[in-house]
């Protein structure tokens, strides 16, 4: 999601996005093949459970033993109506992420990480995109070539927090089963942990580089996914809902805390199929609980609560009541799940944009008060053509890239 908000040092709009580059939106010069010689796995709606295409291992970098392979199988039919978990399938990511994907026109893939420090003072988020869904450049290109609109978005939240998001071209993209690189930054899945190497230029009003490493240490890797739409065109893959995170960035950003790692995949634009959604992940005794609620364009709804156990077990549970809490600074409606009679509250502003809000909130689940990460996304607002030029002022498009060995 393209933004950050630090209320004690920034105005709402100035903290949302990065600067502009003035370059063409569809320049694919200097395109390189992916890092691996293996063909990319095709991302498609409703892939077969075993389609004969397994994401290739990268030898020593493949997941091995550091994370529990136990995978809980949720009760339910496994139907694709947005209301049931099912085994992860079709992308080679049953035991960890597979980044080597061929995303179709109009589609997207993103891998998302967040973390909150143990003292609650700082937080971080990272999103790696193929088909950068919140980039106006991708929309203006007609979404014909997702691989030509890629990004690693990083934001730090707290005193001196910074934000960076650059829409890059295919020349900057290298992928393999266990590695995802966009220009100077990269994600690597190594021995059951996710290592993120960051080197990005932060946007005003607090410019400068964000440089260093973020490490996500899953307590377990789940083996499940959840369709968000009945036809399987949008999928949520909760890879590691409960994790530890270690942050070692420049400018004094060294801390550890609780973290989270998931992915989303789609074959159509979000605003085509959804008008509004909220999502939240919360540490709970023995694991984590996630809530996913959405209103689809056809009027149907998604309303799901998932509990994850310490070994990666996953089960649907009865969702607590949907409960509203204060709107964001841009008046985005916000709601989450909470025990009856409890009113959730924001404890830390993280991101605030005209169509989106991310924040750390406190809620109560089964009598247990917990602080986790919450997002609310108004896709009616995002679909407005008037918003795209505003975003373009802050999202740079830099299609050209040369890796050092090519210079």
pLDDT digits (tens, 9 = 90+) for 247-284: 999 988 999 999 999 999 999 999 999 999 999 999 99
Confidence of residue 305 (pLDDT cuts 50, 70, 90): very high
Across the chain, mean pLDDT equals 85
Q: What is the pLDDT of residue 21?
A: 32
Is the confidence at residue 26, as pLDDT, over 70?
no
Is the confidence at residue 76, as pLDDT, over 50?
no
Find the mean pLDDT for residues 4-11.
Answer: 34
Number of structural domains the chain divides into: 1
Confidence of residue 50 (pLDDT cuts 50, 70, 90): low
Q: What is the pLDDT of residue 84?
A: 81
Q: What is the pLDDT of residue 167?
A: 95
Q: What is the pLDDT of residue 77?
A: 39
Confidence of residue 23 (pLDDT cuts 50, 70, 90): very low
Domain contains 132: yes
Q: What is the pLDDT of residue 36?
A: 54
Distance CA 79, CA 352 (A): 35
Is the confidence at residue 350, as pLDDT, over 90?
yes
Is the confidence at residue 296, as pLDDT, over 80?
yes
pLDDT in tens, 54-63: 676 554 444 3
At 139, phi and psi to the nearest 5? -65, -45
Contact between 141 and 158 under an 8 Å Cβ cutoff? The reply is no
Domain contains 84: yes
Q: What is the pLDDT of residue 48?
A: 77
Find the mean pLDDT for residues 324-331.
Answer: 96
Tokens of 325: 């809490």
We report the CATH number of the domain holding residue 74 as: 2.40.370.10
Distance CA 78, CA 80 (A): 7
Query: Distance of CA 281 to CAs 10, 137, 228, 366, 374, Å?
Result: 26, 30, 16, 15, 7
Confidence of residue 120 (pLDDT cuts 50, 70, 90): very high
Domain contains 361: yes
- In Å, how far from its chain's centre is CA 398? 21
- What 8-state DSSP symbol labels residue 388? H
Q: What is the pLDDT of residue 160?
A: 87
Instruction: Please state the length of the chain.
Output: 407
Give the lowest-confidence range in 42-51, 113-122, 187-196, 207-216: 42-51
Domain contains 6: no
Q: What is the pLDDT of residue 24?
A: 35
Is the confidence at residue 14, as pLDDT, over 80?
no
Confidence of residue 65 (pLDDT cuts 50, 70, 90): very low
Domain contains 403: no
Domain contains 76: yes
More confident residue, 70 or 123: 123
Domain contains 405: no
Q: Model pTM greater than 0.95?
A: no
Structural domain boundaries, residue 384: 13-43+60-392
Q: What is the pLDDT of residue 54?
A: 64
More confident residue, 109 or 70: 109
Segments of 252-329 assigned E as strands: 253-266, 274-284, 287-296, 301-308, 314-316, 322-325
Distance CA 384, CA 380 (A): 7
Tokens of 85: 């978990």
Give the lowest-confidence range in 32-36, 109-113, 222-226, 353-357: 32-36
Domain contains 141: yes
Is the confidence at residue 29, as pLDDT, over 50?
no
Contact between 284 and 313 under an 8 Å Cβ cutoff? The reply is no
Contact between 112 and 106 under an 8 Å Cβ cutoff? The reply is no
Is the confidence at residue 132, as pLDDT, over 50?
yes
């Amino acid at each position: 999601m393209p933004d950050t908000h630090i209320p004690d040092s920034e105005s709402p709009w100035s903290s949302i996005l990065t600067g502009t580059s003035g370059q063409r939106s569809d320049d694919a010069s200097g395109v390189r093949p992916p890092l691996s010689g293996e063909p990319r796995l095709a991302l498609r709606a409703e892939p077969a459970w075993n389609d004969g295409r397994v994401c290739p291992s990268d030898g020593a970098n493949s997941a091995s033993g550091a994370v529990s392979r136990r995978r809980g199988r949720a009760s339910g039919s496994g139907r694709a109506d947005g209301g049931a978990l099912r085994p992860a399938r079709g992308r080679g990511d049953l035991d960890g992420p597979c980044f080597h994907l061929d995303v179709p026109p109009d589609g997207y893939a993103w891998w998302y990480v967040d973390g909150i420090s143990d003292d609650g003072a700082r937080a971080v988020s990272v999103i790696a995109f193929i088909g950068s869904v919140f980039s106006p450049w991708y929309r203006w290109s007609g979404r014909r070539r997702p691989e030509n609109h890629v990004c690693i978005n990083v934001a730090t939240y707290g005193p001196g927090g910074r934000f960076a998001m650059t829409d890059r071209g295919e020349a900057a993209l290298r992928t393999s089963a266990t590695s995802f690189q966009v220009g100077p930054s990269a994600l690597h899945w190594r021995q059951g942990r996710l290592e993120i190497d960051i080197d990005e230029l932060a946007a005003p009003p607090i410019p400068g580089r964000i440089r260093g490493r973020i490490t996500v240490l899953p307590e377990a890797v789940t083996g499940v996914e959840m369709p968000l739409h009945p036809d399987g065109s949008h999928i949520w893959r909760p890879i590691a809902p409960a994790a530890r995170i270690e942050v070692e960035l420049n400018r004094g950003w060294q801390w550890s805390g609780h973290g989270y790692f998931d992915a989303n995949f789609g074959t159509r634009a979000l605003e085509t199929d959804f008008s509004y959604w909220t999502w939240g992940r919360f540490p709970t005794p023995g694991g984590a609980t996630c809530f996913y609620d959405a209103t689809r364009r056809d009027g149907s709804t998604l309303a799901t609560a998932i509990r994850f156990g310490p070994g990666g077990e996953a089960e649907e549970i009865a969702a607590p009541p949907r409960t509203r809490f204060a709107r964001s600074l841009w008046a985005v409606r916000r709601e989450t799940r909470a025990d009856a009679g409890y009113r959730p509250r924001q404890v830390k502003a993280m991101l605030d944009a005209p169509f989106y809000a991310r924040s750390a909130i406190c809620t109560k689940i089964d009598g247990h008060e917990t602080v986790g990460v919450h997002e609310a996304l108004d896709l009616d607002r995002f679909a407005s053509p008037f918003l795209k030029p505003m975003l373009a002022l802050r999202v740079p498009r830099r299609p050209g890239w040369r890796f050092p060995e090519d210079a």
